[in-house]
Amino acid sequence: MWFTRILSAIVFLFSIVFTIPLAFDVGGRTCGLAFSLSLSCFYFLHSVLRLSTPDRSRFRRALLRTVGWSQWIVIPTLIIWSLNKFSVDSDNSSGWVEKAFGGKATHNPSVREWLFGRKGLVETATVGSWDKILRWSTPVFQLCEGFCSLLVIQAAGAITKHLVNGERGDSWMMAFLVVSASIISGSCYFLWRVTTFPVIDNIDAILIGMAIACVIFLCVWGIGSGRGNPVESALLFAYITLCIYQIFTDYQPSTPAEAVPLPYQPDFPPLPPIIMASYTTLVHALSTLPSTIHSAFSFLVAAIMTITPSVIISLAYRLFVFYASARIIPAVRESGARALSQDPSLEDSDGVGQALGFLSYFSPTILIAVYTSLLMQHFASASADGPGEWWTSQGGDAGGNVWRWANVGFTMALYAVELYLGKGDDTMLTSHWKSD
């Protein structure tokens, strides 16, 4: 059972991470949105099925297992359908419903095109609404990331306080000082990397200076007043640095790599002849494989190349802080530190735990929305900088990183309020933390 769940989760993550950006890159903006919407609908219906059927039913287990394994067929079918019906290179003379089902022309072609044609009523009501939802949810996801990051930072600070005040407190304190110093040193390195980027203008430099000055002031205030500790301050400094780094870079080298000269061919092979002969035979066998396998391999490489490191790192970080917050919030409110090892459930006595448990059923749909929102934000930033003109030519927004800057200010303001209202041993976010 556990193997099936792990395999299903791996397939789901692989399909989301690789196929959605491929749909955007190959088919265009509308194609990517249509594929993302179809995926989210499929997993939303799967979540509704899990939520509406009894847990102990054998029929439920069999049905959920069947639906879970069907994603191997559903996901390739959806991406082929999206590329065929919504790609920028597809035929615009007929509606997608007619091309999908092979229907004949109706008595009133104008009505058919108005309802089911390209940019018709159906497409506007579905794909257009999904586009607006993702645009409006971008600030929500960004600010939730800042709040959850601050919650994780506060929880880490509470745990370190408990360890330092317990047995072998001096050893823990020295270890945490070393960890904090390492985090700050790494953050300073990435800040230095930011200063070498050519895209920074005077306004960006002023914003960076203000953010760094504010976060240093908050760190010194927290440590000096006793309401924070070095670990909290180092993690807050690191998160602000991460936000700034995400605004100005795509995690690529600041200078293009120089051409590497061809290696010198030695007179003698680097390995024994039997190994070299086996290697040559293997390469020859691979070269004789059917063209479909080579096409599949090329398709996989193309899917991987469409993913930018910034989006993957942002997605991984958001998943981490959201998942950690889903376990921290019930522990802070009611259950104590033991709740960290338990997933939120609808059977929790706490209302917040029940709400988080309800949202956990729809985590695949939320993940798809978060990832698609990150991709759209990345395309908008690239379009604002010049290389991504195809995004604006298809109606994409080029708003840039306004909400990332807003998240930086929101996170520091919330931490300042916490320091102002908190006591020496308690904090606003983790004042009810129990270390039972």
Q: Tell me the mean pLDDT in the region 3-25.
A: 77
102 confidence band (pLDDT: 50, 70, 90): very low
Contacts within 8 Å (CB) and 24+ apart, 11-18: 11/71, 11/72, 12/43, 12/71, 12/364, 15/39, 15/71, 15/75, 16/367, 16/368, 16/371, 17/307, 17/312, 17/315, 17/371, 18/300, 18/303, 18/304, 18/306, 18/307
Q: Are 42 and 357 in contact (CB under 8 A)?
A: no
Q: Which tens digits make up the pLDDT trace of 296-322? A: 566 666 666 666 777 888 888 988 888
CA 219 – CA 203 distance, rounded (Å): 24
Q: Are 120 and 210 in contact (CB under 8 A)?
A: no
CA 340 – CA 263 distance, rounded (Å): 53
With a pLDDT cut of 70, the percent of the chain lying above it is: 64
- Give pLDDT, residue 187: 93
Token pair 């955007």 is found at: 24
Q: Which tens digits make up the pLDDT trace of 193-218? A: 888 877 788 888 899 999 999 999 99
- Give pLDDT, residue 256: 43
User: CA angle at residue 335 from 50 to 229, to 5 degrees?
Assistant: 120
Q: In which element (H, E) is residue 273 found?
A: helix 273-287
The verdict on residue 328 lying in a domain is: yes
Question: Of 310 and 227, which is predicted with more confidence?
Answer: 227
- Give pLDDT, residue 436: 39
The verdict on residue 115 lying in a domain is: no
The verdict on residue 435 lying in a domain is: yes
Q: Are 126 and 300 in contact (CB under 8 A)?
A: no
For the ranges 49-63, 83-97, 235-249, the lowest mean pLDDT is seen at 83-97
Look at the chain and report how many structural domains it folds into: 1
The verdict on residue 337 lying in a domain is: yes
- Give pLDDT, residue 358: 74
Q: Are 240 and 412 in contact (CB under 8 A)?
A: yes
- Count CB-CB contacts under 10 A for residue 99: 15
CA 7 – CA 258 distance, rounded (Å): 40
**Nearest Cα to 408, choosing from 215, 230, 234?**
215
Q: For 285, phi and psi rounded to 5 degrees? A: -65, -40
For the ranges 210-219, 232-241, 276-285, 319-328, the lowest mean pLDDT is seen at 276-285
344: left (phi over 0), alpha (psi -120 to 50) or beta: beta
Structure tokens at 119: 């940019």
Sign of CA dihedral 142, 143, 145, 149: positive
The verdict on residue 182 lying in a domain is: yes
Domain range holding 336? Answer: 137-254+295-436
29 confidence band (pLDDT: 50, 70, 90): confident
Question: Of 287 and 130, which is predicted with more confidence?
Answer: 130
- Give pLDDT, residue 37: 92
Structure tokens at 365: 């749909």
- Count CB-CB contacts under 10 A for residue 423: 11
- Give pLDDT, residue 417: 92
257 confidence band (pLDDT: 50, 70, 90): very low
Across the chain, mean pLDDT equals 75
Start-to-end CA distance of the chain, whole Å, equals 32
DSSP per-residue letters across 199-263: T--HHHHHHHHHHHHHHHHHHHHHHHHTSS-HHHHHHHHHHHHHHHHHHH--SS-SSPPPPPPPP
* Residue 287 C-beta-side C-alpha neighbours within 13 Å: 6
Three-class SS state of 306: coil
- Give pLDDT, residue 28: 82
pLDDT at 95 exceeding the cut of 60: no
Name the H helices within 288-387.
291-305, 309-330, 351-361, 363-385
- Give pLDDT, residue 265: 47
The verdict on residue 142 lying in a domain is: yes
**Nearest Cα to 239, choosing from 132, 150, 168, 323?**
150
Q: Are 22 and 303 in contact (CB under 8 A)?
A: yes
CA 384 – CA 397 distance, rounded (Å): 9
The verdict on residue 31 lying in a domain is: no
SS3 content of the chain, % helix, strand, coil (to 5): 75, 0, 25
CA 15 to centroid of chain Cα atoms: 14
The verdict on residue 88 lying in a domain is: no
Q: Which tens digits make up the pLDDT trace of 367-411? A: 899 988 888 887 776 655 554 455 555 555 545 578 889 999 999
